[in-house]
Amino acid sequence: MGEVTVRVVPRAGRTQVEAGPDRIVVRVREVAEGGRATEAARRALAQAIGVPPGRVELRRGARSRVKTFLVQGLTRQEIQVRLRAT
């Protein structure tokens, strides 16, 4: 299982995942209330990686913009490769 740390930007114009050489930014349209932005970021990350949303779970950062997600079945390196391919 691989962990990936992302910065979540709520209330963006559109939902997208940006993978740079040193960080991953997930922009979501949802607001940061009631965990809606976190859930949208989890789903967007799963889609960008190409795995079902059920294989991505929040590990740390429920109330922070910087969150760590655990992706079941992939290593950290595999996640990075898949994100760069998008």
Domains of the chain: 2-85 (3.30.1200.10)
Q: Evaluate whether 63 touches 69 at the Cβ level (below 8 Å).
A: no
Q: Which residues pair with 71 in a beta bridge?
A: 2, 56
The residue to which tokens 């799963």 are assigned? 46
**3-class DSSP assignment, residue 67:** strand
Query: Tens-digit pLDDT profile for the chain (86 aa)?
Result: 899 999 999 999 999 999 988 899 999 999 999 999 999 999 999 999 999 999 999 999 999 999 999 999 999 999 999 998 76
Q: Evaluate whether 34 touches 22 at the Cβ level (below 8 Å).
A: no
Instruction: Give pTM, 2 decimals.
Output: 0.94
